[in-house]
Structure 1
């Protein structure tokens, strides 16, 4: 592990010290590489666009470890609602940010789009 990274209570996500700043910083991650298995009759993969935004307190999320965390759901049967809640809770416990916002946009299936938003909506992009 890089000497600037620290292990956390989470098995995958690593953190590093947030830089000092007089103003609030907002960090954003966005990816369309999040997939999980539908827990219902469909049984196939669900595809998501994940938006993660946070204002750090002391720690920042290391991006490579976040990617591994995102990939860890690939073979997990989980609903969009549960996935959003799990990701929010894990990141909240790991980084303890001042503000946190998680958005999952599930790819359209059967003509229906689903979006799950959890956290501080003041961090919603374009809000």
Structure 2
């Protein structure tokens, strides 16, 4: 490996580092409808051990004025991979960031973490009222 290969971030790493939630106008703001997104490869790190934690994120929402753009959401979710953060905090922060980005009528995030040490954790957080 050359010096350049070890120090220059790859294009995917650069995209993840620059990730931000992007939205577009809701194509049908007068109708309440449901969007369900599954992100099966979420990772972050345990704040105590530093070991990786793996989860499936299930994000469901009823759009308000804006809709989340999927590639931007994917990059944003991947940006958590090196953060040492608890299951509870990361689920709440992801929900807060998504709500701030798109102002949904209702949103739910279920973070289903893979069992570790014979413990299976699911965190469910909500925003707003479902119609």
Normalising by structure 2, we get a TM-score of 0.80
Q: Does 1:91 align with 2:98?
A: yes
Counterpart of 1:25? Answer: 33
Q: Deviations over 1:17-43 (max 9, x none)?
A: 111265311111102111001001x32
Distance between the aligned counterparts of 1:68 and 1:98, measured in 2?
24
Counterpart of 1:46? Answer: 53
Distance between the aligned counterparts of 1:69 and 1:31, measured in 2?
11
Q: Does 1:59 align with 2:50?
A: no
Distance between the aligned counterparts of 2:114 and 2:38, measured in 1?
15
Q: Which has the higher helix share?
A: 2
Consecutive unaligned residues in structure 2, runs of 5 or more = 1-18
The structural deviation recorded for 1:98 is 0.3
List 4+ stretches of structure 1 deviating above 3 A.
120-123
- The count of corresponding residues between Structure 1 and Structure 2 is 112
Consecutive unaligned residues in structure 1, runs of 5 or more = 1-10
Normalising by structure 1, we get a TM-score of 0.82
Distance between the aligned counterparts of 2:111 and 2:128, measured in 1?
13
The Cα RMSD (Å) is: 1.7
Distance between the aligned counterparts of 2:102 and 2:122, measured in 1?
24
> Which has the larger Rg?
2
